[in-house]
Copies of this chain bind each other. A is one copy, B any other.
Amino acid sequence: MKKTYLLAPGPTPVPPEALTAMSMPIIHHRSPDFIPILESAKNGLKWLFQTDNVVLILASTGTGGMVGAVNNFLSPGDKAVVVRGGKFGERWSEICEAFGVLPINIDVEWGYAVKPSQVEAELKKDPSIKAVMIQASETSTGVLHPTREIGEIVKKYPNCLFIVDAITAMGVIDMPVDKWGIDVCITGSQKALMLPPGLAFVSVSEKAWKANESAKCNRFYFNFKKERKNLEKNQTNFTTASSLVVGLNSALSMMKAEGLENIFKRHERLANATRAAVKAMGLKLFAKESPSLALTAIEVPEGIDGGKLTKIMRDKYGVTVAGGQAQLKGKIFRIAHLGYFNTFDIIIGISCAEMALKEMGANITLGKGVAAAEEILLKF
Protein backbone atom coordinates (compact mmCIF):
# COMPACT_ATOMS: atom_id res chain seq x y z
CA MET A 1 0.00 0.00 0.00
CA LYS A 2 1.46 3.27 -1.15
CA LYS A 3 0.22 6.64 0.09
CA THR A 4 1.36 9.46 -2.14
CA TYR A 5 1.91 13.14 -1.43
CA LEU A 6 2.18 15.77 -4.13
CA LEU A 7 4.50 18.58 -2.97
CA ALA A 8 5.45 19.98 -6.38
CA PRO A 9 4.94 23.62 -7.40
CA GLY A 10 2.23 22.62 -9.86
CA PRO A 11 0.24 20.62 -10.39
CA THR A 12 -0.72 20.94 -6.75
CA PRO A 13 -3.14 18.70 -4.84
CA VAL A 14 -6.81 19.12 -5.74
CA PRO A 15 -9.15 19.26 -2.72
CA PRO A 16 -11.84 16.57 -2.56
CA GLU A 17 -14.51 19.26 -2.84
CA ALA A 18 -13.25 20.22 -6.30
CA LEU A 19 -12.64 16.61 -7.37
CA THR A 20 -16.18 15.73 -6.43
CA ALA A 21 -17.63 18.74 -8.23
CA MET A 22 -15.72 17.80 -11.37
CA SER A 23 -16.93 14.21 -11.23
CA MET A 24 -20.55 15.29 -11.69
CA PRO A 25 -22.16 14.76 -15.12
CA ILE A 26 -20.98 17.24 -17.70
CA ILE A 27 -22.96 20.45 -18.28
CA HIS A 28 -23.19 21.89 -21.78
CA HIS A 29 -21.11 25.08 -21.89
CA ARG A 30 -23.78 26.93 -23.90
CA SER A 31 -26.71 25.87 -21.73
CA PRO A 32 -28.45 28.15 -19.22
CA ASP A 33 -27.25 25.84 -16.43
CA PHE A 34 -23.67 26.81 -17.22
CA ILE A 35 -24.24 30.57 -17.20
CA PRO A 36 -24.35 31.02 -13.40
CA ILE A 37 -21.28 28.77 -13.11
CA LEU A 38 -19.26 30.87 -15.52
CA GLU A 39 -20.59 34.09 -14.02
CA SER A 40 -19.61 33.04 -10.55
CA ALA A 41 -16.16 31.90 -11.73
CA LYS A 42 -15.70 35.21 -13.53
CA ASN A 43 -16.58 37.20 -10.43
CA GLY A 44 -14.51 34.98 -8.18
CA LEU A 45 -11.46 35.55 -10.35
CA LYS A 46 -11.92 39.32 -10.17
CA TRP A 47 -11.99 38.96 -6.40
CA LEU A 48 -8.85 36.85 -6.43
CA PHE A 49 -6.99 39.19 -8.79
CA GLN A 50 -8.24 42.22 -6.82
CA THR A 51 -9.24 43.84 -10.08
CA ASP A 52 -12.20 45.67 -11.56
CA ASN A 53 -11.08 44.54 -15.00
CA VAL A 54 -12.18 41.41 -16.77
CA VAL A 55 -10.32 38.16 -16.07
CA LEU A 56 -10.46 35.93 -19.15
CA ILE A 57 -10.79 32.16 -18.88
CA LEU A 58 -8.82 30.23 -21.52
CA ALA A 59 -8.86 26.51 -22.32
CA SER A 60 -5.08 26.08 -22.16
CA THR A 61 -2.33 25.87 -19.61
CA GLY A 62 -0.62 29.00 -18.26
CA THR A 63 1.78 29.10 -21.19
CA GLY A 64 -1.20 29.66 -23.47
CA GLY A 65 -2.04 32.70 -21.35
CA MET A 66 1.52 33.96 -21.80
CA VAL A 67 1.29 33.49 -25.58
CA GLY A 68 -2.01 35.36 -25.62
CA ALA A 69 -0.47 38.17 -23.57
CA VAL A 70 2.18 38.66 -26.25
CA ASN A 71 0.08 38.33 -29.36
CA ASN A 72 -2.98 40.31 -28.25
CA PHE A 73 -1.11 43.44 -27.25
CA LEU A 74 2.02 43.63 -29.38
CA SER A 75 2.99 43.72 -33.04
CA PRO A 76 5.96 42.24 -34.89
CA GLY A 77 8.88 44.62 -34.50
CA ASP A 78 7.72 45.94 -31.14
CA LYS A 79 10.30 45.95 -28.37
CA ALA A 80 9.67 44.41 -24.95
CA VAL A 81 11.86 44.33 -21.86
CA VAL A 82 12.04 40.77 -20.57
CA VAL A 83 13.40 39.88 -17.16
CA ARG A 84 15.19 36.56 -17.48
CA GLY A 85 15.98 35.20 -14.07
CA GLY A 86 15.03 31.59 -14.67
CA LYS A 87 13.43 29.14 -17.04
CA PHE A 88 10.13 30.99 -17.19
CA GLY A 89 11.81 34.31 -17.88
CA GLU A 90 13.42 32.60 -20.85
CA ARG A 91 9.97 31.51 -21.96
CA TRP A 92 8.86 35.16 -22.27
CA SER A 93 11.79 35.74 -24.55
CA GLU A 94 11.03 32.68 -26.67
CA ILE A 95 7.37 33.65 -27.06
CA CYS A 96 8.33 37.17 -28.15
CA GLU A 97 10.70 35.78 -30.75
CA ALA A 98 8.10 33.31 -32.03
CA PHE A 99 5.82 36.24 -32.91
CA GLY A 100 8.41 38.71 -34.16
CA VAL A 101 8.47 40.83 -31.01
CA LEU A 102 12.00 41.95 -30.12
CA PRO A 103 12.93 41.08 -26.54
CA ILE A 104 15.37 43.31 -24.68
CA ASN A 105 16.56 40.78 -22.14
CA ILE A 106 17.64 41.71 -18.64
CA ASP A 107 19.56 38.65 -17.57
CA VAL A 108 19.48 38.13 -13.82
CA GLU A 109 21.62 35.49 -12.18
CA TRP A 110 19.39 32.57 -11.23
CA GLY A 111 18.59 32.79 -7.54
CA TYR A 112 18.46 36.58 -7.54
CA ALA A 113 15.69 39.11 -8.14
CA VAL A 114 15.83 41.83 -10.76
CA LYS A 115 16.43 45.35 -9.48
CA PRO A 116 13.65 47.78 -10.39
CA SER A 117 16.34 50.26 -11.46
CA GLN A 118 17.50 47.81 -14.14
CA VAL A 119 14.03 47.92 -15.70
CA GLU A 120 13.82 51.69 -15.36
CA ALA A 121 17.18 52.14 -17.07
CA GLU A 122 15.95 50.25 -20.15
CA LEU A 123 12.74 52.24 -20.33
CA LYS A 124 14.63 55.51 -20.06
CA LYS A 125 17.05 54.42 -22.77
CA ASP A 126 14.34 53.54 -25.27
CA PRO A 127 10.94 55.23 -25.00
CA SER A 128 9.56 53.06 -27.82
CA ILE A 129 9.46 49.97 -25.58
CA LYS A 130 5.94 48.57 -25.60
CA ALA A 131 5.99 46.15 -22.69
CA VAL A 132 7.84 44.90 -19.63
CA MET A 133 7.49 41.19 -18.88
CA ILE A 134 8.39 39.50 -15.64
CA GLN A 135 7.57 36.56 -13.44
CA ALA A 136 6.07 37.66 -10.13
CA SER A 137 7.35 34.35 -8.75
CA GLU A 138 9.98 32.57 -10.86
CA THR A 139 9.04 28.95 -10.25
CA SER A 140 12.34 27.54 -11.49
CA THR A 141 14.41 29.37 -8.86
CA GLY A 142 11.90 30.11 -6.09
CA VAL A 143 12.52 33.86 -6.28
CA LEU A 144 10.01 36.73 -6.17
CA HIS A 145 10.70 39.62 -8.52
CA PRO A 146 9.70 43.09 -7.22
CA THR A 147 6.36 43.32 -9.03
CA ARG A 148 4.93 46.25 -7.09
CA GLU A 149 8.04 48.36 -7.55
CA ILE A 150 8.29 47.64 -11.27
CA GLY A 151 4.60 48.41 -11.61
CA GLU A 152 5.23 51.87 -10.16
CA ILE A 153 7.88 52.48 -12.81
CA VAL A 154 5.90 51.19 -15.79
CA LYS A 155 2.88 53.30 -14.77
CA LYS A 156 4.91 56.35 -15.78
CA TYR A 157 5.13 55.17 -19.39
CA PRO A 158 1.72 55.55 -21.05
CA ASN A 159 2.67 53.42 -24.09
CA CYS A 160 4.28 50.59 -22.15
CA LEU A 161 2.35 47.64 -20.70
CA PHE A 162 3.30 45.72 -17.59
CA ILE A 163 2.78 42.02 -18.32
CA VAL A 164 3.18 39.68 -15.36
CA ASP A 165 3.37 35.91 -15.26
CA ALA A 166 1.80 35.37 -11.84
CA ILE A 167 1.37 31.64 -12.36
CA THR A 168 2.83 30.75 -8.96
CA ALA A 169 2.11 34.10 -7.32
CA MET A 170 -1.63 34.71 -7.70
CA GLY A 171 -3.44 33.45 -4.63
CA VAL A 172 -0.11 33.12 -2.80
CA ILE A 173 1.05 36.66 -2.19
CA ASP A 174 -0.97 39.85 -1.90
CA MET A 175 -0.89 41.10 -5.47
CA PRO A 176 -3.62 43.69 -6.09
CA VAL A 177 -3.50 43.82 -9.86
CA ASP A 178 -5.13 47.23 -10.34
CA LYS A 179 -3.33 48.94 -7.50
CA TRP A 180 0.04 47.65 -8.66
CA GLY A 181 -0.54 48.73 -12.25
CA ILE A 182 -0.37 45.26 -13.76
CA ASP A 183 -1.86 45.53 -17.24
CA VAL A 184 -1.88 41.85 -18.09
CA CYS A 185 -1.69 39.29 -15.31
CA ILE A 186 -1.65 35.55 -15.96
CA THR A 187 -2.19 32.53 -13.79
CA GLY A 188 -3.02 28.87 -14.33
CA SER A 189 -5.46 26.43 -12.77
CA GLN A 190 -2.96 23.95 -11.33
CA LYS A 191 -1.22 26.22 -8.81
CA ALA A 192 -2.80 28.18 -5.95
CA LEU A 193 -6.20 27.59 -7.55
CA MET A 194 -5.87 23.92 -6.57
CA LEU A 195 -7.22 22.47 -9.83
CA PRO A 196 -5.92 20.11 -12.50
CA PRO A 197 -4.02 21.81 -15.33
CA GLY A 198 -6.02 22.97 -18.36
CA LEU A 199 -7.21 26.52 -17.69
CA ALA A 200 -5.38 29.85 -17.86
CA PHE A 201 -6.71 33.11 -16.41
CA VAL A 202 -5.68 36.53 -17.69
CA SER A 203 -6.68 39.96 -16.42
CA VAL A 204 -6.49 42.86 -18.87
CA SER A 205 -6.39 46.57 -17.98
CA GLU A 206 -7.95 49.41 -19.98
CA LYS A 207 -4.44 50.48 -20.99
CA ALA A 208 -3.90 47.02 -22.45
CA TRP A 209 -7.25 47.01 -24.29
CA LYS A 210 -6.18 50.25 -25.93
CA ALA A 211 -2.97 48.58 -27.08
CA ASN A 212 -5.03 45.63 -28.30
CA GLU A 213 -6.68 47.84 -30.91
CA SER A 214 -3.46 48.24 -32.86
CA ALA A 215 -1.70 44.96 -31.96
CA LYS A 216 -0.91 43.03 -35.11
CA CYS A 217 0.56 39.71 -33.94
CA ASN A 218 -1.20 36.71 -35.47
CA ARG A 219 -3.80 35.18 -33.21
CA PHE A 220 -6.87 33.02 -33.41
CA TYR A 221 -7.22 30.54 -30.56
CA PHE A 222 -6.17 33.18 -28.04
CA ASN A 223 -8.28 36.12 -29.17
CA PHE A 224 -8.77 38.21 -26.04
CA LYS A 225 -11.12 40.75 -27.56
CA LYS A 226 -13.53 38.01 -28.59
CA GLU A 227 -13.13 36.31 -25.23
CA ARG A 228 -14.04 39.54 -23.45
CA LYS A 229 -17.09 40.05 -25.64
CA ASN A 230 -18.26 36.51 -24.91
CA LEU A 231 -17.50 36.69 -21.21
CA GLU A 232 -19.74 39.72 -20.90
CA LYS A 233 -22.57 37.33 -21.80
CA ASN A 234 -21.13 34.62 -19.51
CA GLN A 235 -19.88 32.70 -22.54
CA THR A 236 -16.48 31.77 -23.92
CA ASN A 237 -15.35 32.34 -27.51
CA PHE A 238 -14.81 28.66 -28.21
CA THR A 239 -15.76 25.65 -26.12
CA THR A 240 -14.24 25.95 -22.67
CA ALA A 241 -12.82 23.19 -20.48
CA SER A 242 -16.15 23.14 -18.70
CA SER A 243 -15.46 20.48 -16.07
CA LEU A 244 -12.47 22.51 -14.89
CA VAL A 245 -14.64 25.63 -14.70
CA VAL A 246 -16.99 23.70 -12.43
CA GLY A 247 -13.99 22.79 -10.27
CA LEU A 248 -12.84 26.40 -10.38
CA ASN A 249 -16.04 27.53 -8.74
CA SER A 250 -15.61 24.98 -6.04
CA ALA A 251 -12.00 26.07 -5.42
CA LEU A 252 -12.93 29.75 -5.43
CA SER A 253 -15.67 29.08 -2.87
CA MET A 254 -13.11 27.50 -0.57
CA MET A 255 -10.77 30.42 -1.08
CA LYS A 256 -13.49 32.97 -0.39
CA ALA A 257 -14.43 31.17 2.80
CA GLU A 258 -10.80 31.39 3.91
CA GLY A 259 -10.41 35.01 2.82
CA LEU A 260 -7.56 36.60 0.90
CA GLU A 261 -5.71 37.83 3.96
CA ASN A 262 -5.77 34.40 5.57
CA ILE A 263 -4.65 32.76 2.35
CA PHE A 264 -1.62 35.04 2.13
CA LYS A 265 -0.83 34.50 5.83
CA ARG A 266 -1.08 30.74 5.46
CA HIS A 267 1.36 30.75 2.57
CA GLU A 268 3.74 32.97 4.52
CA ARG A 269 3.54 30.70 7.55
CA LEU A 270 4.26 27.58 5.50
CA ALA A 271 7.07 29.27 3.59
CA ASN A 272 8.67 30.52 6.82
CA ALA A 273 8.46 27.09 8.39
CA THR A 274 10.00 25.44 5.34
CA ARG A 275 12.85 27.93 5.17
CA ALA A 276 13.57 27.59 8.90
CA ALA A 277 13.63 23.81 8.54
CA VAL A 278 16.01 23.98 5.60
CA LYS A 279 18.41 26.18 7.52
CA ALA A 280 18.19 23.97 10.62
CA MET A 281 19.08 20.98 8.47
CA GLY A 282 22.27 22.80 7.48
CA LEU A 283 21.07 23.20 3.87
CA LYS A 284 21.09 26.34 1.77
CA LEU A 285 18.17 28.13 0.14
CA PHE A 286 18.79 28.56 -3.56
CA ALA A 287 17.06 31.97 -3.52
CA LYS A 288 19.72 34.42 -2.41
CA GLU A 289 17.07 37.10 -1.98
CA SER A 290 13.26 37.47 -2.05
CA PRO A 291 12.40 33.80 -1.62
CA SER A 292 9.00 32.92 -3.04
CA LEU A 293 6.12 32.07 -0.74
CA ALA A 294 4.95 29.48 -3.27
CA LEU A 295 7.89 27.13 -3.06
CA THR A 296 11.29 26.73 -1.46
CA ALA A 297 14.20 25.86 -3.73
CA ILE A 298 16.91 24.06 -1.75
CA GLU A 299 20.48 23.43 -2.81
CA VAL A 300 21.37 19.74 -2.87
CA PRO A 301 24.29 19.27 -0.45
CA GLU A 302 27.68 18.62 -2.00
CA GLY A 303 28.35 14.99 -2.76
CA ILE A 304 24.65 14.17 -3.01
CA ASP A 305 23.03 13.28 -6.32
CA GLY A 306 19.96 15.52 -6.64
CA GLY A 307 18.27 13.24 -9.13
CA LYS A 308 18.66 10.29 -6.79
CA LEU A 309 17.38 12.33 -3.85
CA THR A 310 14.05 13.21 -5.46
CA LYS A 311 13.79 9.64 -6.73
CA ILE A 312 14.16 8.18 -3.22
CA MET A 313 11.68 10.70 -1.84
CA ARG A 314 9.21 9.67 -4.50
CA ASP A 315 9.78 5.92 -4.85
CA LYS A 316 10.46 4.98 -1.24
CA TYR A 317 8.26 7.49 0.55
CA GLY A 318 5.65 8.45 -2.06
CA VAL A 319 6.53 12.14 -1.80
CA THR A 320 6.73 14.02 -5.10
CA VAL A 321 8.81 17.18 -4.91
CA ALA A 322 10.33 18.94 -7.93
CA GLY A 323 13.96 18.74 -8.96
CA GLY A 324 15.83 21.52 -10.72
CA GLN A 325 15.05 22.56 -14.29
CA ALA A 326 17.51 23.27 -17.11
CA GLN A 327 20.89 24.40 -15.70
CA LEU A 328 19.71 23.56 -12.16
CA LYS A 329 18.97 19.91 -12.91
CA GLY A 330 20.35 17.75 -10.09
CA LYS A 331 21.52 20.85 -8.18
CA ILE A 332 18.37 21.85 -6.33
CA PHE A 333 15.13 20.32 -5.14
CA ARG A 334 11.96 22.27 -4.66
CA ILE A 335 9.32 21.79 -1.98
CA ALA A 336 6.07 23.52 -2.80
CA HIS A 337 3.71 25.20 -0.38
CA LEU A 338 1.04 26.74 -2.57
CA GLY A 339 -2.58 25.95 -2.94
CA TYR A 340 -4.15 23.15 -0.95
CA PHE A 341 -1.26 22.98 1.54
CA ASN A 342 -1.20 23.19 5.27
CA THR A 343 0.87 22.32 8.37
CA PHE A 344 1.48 18.64 7.82
CA ASP A 345 2.32 18.94 4.14
CA ILE A 346 5.39 20.86 5.30
CA ILE A 347 6.16 18.35 8.04
CA ILE A 348 5.91 15.52 5.49
CA GLY A 349 8.17 17.30 3.00
CA ILE A 350 10.83 18.11 5.57
CA SER A 351 10.67 14.75 7.31
CA CYS A 352 10.98 12.98 3.98
CA ALA A 353 13.95 15.12 2.95
CA GLU A 354 15.64 14.38 6.30
CA MET A 355 15.25 10.63 5.93
CA ALA A 356 16.22 10.50 2.27
CA LEU A 357 19.28 12.71 2.76
CA LYS A 358 20.36 10.75 5.83
CA GLU A 359 20.05 7.50 3.89
CA MET A 360 22.22 9.01 1.14
CA GLY A 361 24.98 9.85 3.59
CA ALA A 362 24.40 13.57 4.03
CA ASN A 363 25.30 15.17 7.34
CA ILE A 364 21.76 15.33 8.74
CA THR A 365 20.47 15.16 12.32
CA LEU A 366 17.07 13.52 12.06
CA GLY A 367 14.22 15.65 13.37
CA LYS A 368 16.15 18.88 13.44
CA GLY A 369 14.43 20.33 10.38
CA VAL A 370 11.04 19.16 11.58
CA ALA A 371 11.66 20.76 14.99
CA ALA A 372 12.51 24.09 13.39
CA ALA A 373 9.39 23.93 11.24
CA GLU A 374 7.24 23.08 14.26
CA GLU A 375 8.74 26.01 16.10
CA ILE A 376 7.26 28.33 13.49
CA LEU A 377 4.07 26.40 12.87
CA LEU A 378 2.89 26.34 16.48
CA LYS A 379 3.19 30.09 16.78
CA PHE A 380 0.35 30.99 14.40
Q: Which residues from chain A sit less than 8 Å from chain B, CB to CB? A: 4, 6, 8, 10-14, 19-20, 22-29, 31-33, 59-64, 67, 71, 94-95, 98-100, 188, 190, 196-198, 217-222, 238-244, 314-315, 320
A14: chain B residues at CB < 8 Å are: 25-26, 243
Assess A22 versus B25: contact at CB under 8 Å? Given A190-B239, A198-B241, A221-B67. Answer: no
Q: A223: shortest Cβ distance to chain B, in Å?
A: 8
Q: A229: shortest Cβ distance to chain B, in Å?
A: 15
**Which of B23, B64, B197 contacts A23, CB < 8 Å?**
B23
A67: chain B residues at CB < 8 Å are: 220-221
Q: A87: shortest Cβ distance to chain B, in Å?
A: 12
Assess A221 versus B64: contact at CB under 8 Å? Given A23-B19, A198-B59, A241-B198. Answer: yes
User: Given contacts A6-B27, A8-B28, A31-B314, could you give 13 more A-B pairs where the C-beta distance is less than 8 Å?
Assistant: A4-B25, A12-B26, A14-B26, A20-B23, A26-B196, A28-B320, A31-B320, A61-B240, A63-B238, A67-B220, A94-B220, A198-B243, A221-B221
Are A221 and B63 in touch, CB under 8 angstroms?
yes
**Which of B4, B23, B64 contacts A59, CB < 8 Å?**
B64
Are A218 and B61 in touch, CB under 8 angstroms?
no
Are A63 and B239 in touch, CB under 8 angstroms?
yes
Are A98 and B241 in touch, CB under 8 angstroms?
no
**Which of B62, B239, B244 contacts A11, CB < 8 Å?**
B239
A22: chain B residues at CB < 8 Å are: 22-23, 196, 243
A190: chain B residues at CB < 8 Å are: 26, 239
